[in-house]
Amino acid sequence: MRWPRFPMTRCLLLAVTLAALPAACSRQARFCEQCGRAECRNLSFDIRLEGGTVVQTCCPRCALHYLARPHPPVASLAVRDFDSAGRIDATRALYVEGSDVAPCTATAGSPPQDDRGCCMKTVYDRCLPSLLAFRSRLEAERFAREHGGTIRTFADLEASVH
């Protein structure tokens, strides 16, 4: 019997690919429990309930939608700093609301089309206006100068949805 000839490089490449496959398959994208979108690391918001369950949302706006409805008691709230993706206490963060940066929205690029080719326009997006968290007032002010928006505290935002 004759074995097919493979250059050593191909064999090595195949071995590395097969070894990496289980690790790649085990990494699953996290999805927002409110709107179903994939989470962006620099926007994600975690709501830890007293029973230990963590509700994960794609952004602070979706977290506010969750918190506005009846829900189990909350133990803690954590959000990612938009600049560094570092986890911070959501109640102490400062937020820029309504800037020209809206990473969650579904209207990027050309409008989506249905199966007949008709343009579908998004008329409501639960993540708008955009809401981005920052660790410090200085970072929030710098971002708002460059991209517009209003600086808000978490208490301001909570009061506006109740």
| Per-residue model confidence (pLDDT) at position 117 | 55
Q: What is the pLDDT of residue 126?
A: 66
Query: Measuring CA to CA, which residue among 7, 8, 58 is closest to residue 35?
Result: 58
The predicted model scores a pTM of: 0.69
pLDDT band at 138 (very low <50, low <70, confident <90, very high): very high
Using one digit for the tens of pLDDT, what is the confidence trace for 2-58? 545 545 544 443 343 334 333 333 344 577 877 777 767 788 899 999 999 999 988
Question: CB pairs under 8 A, 24+ apart, for 20-24?
Answer: none
- Residue matched to tokens 């090595």: 12
| Joined tokens for residue 94 | 């400062």
Each residue of 61-114: pLDDT tens digit?
Answer: 989 999 999 999 999 999 999 999 999 999 999 999 999 887 765 544 555 555
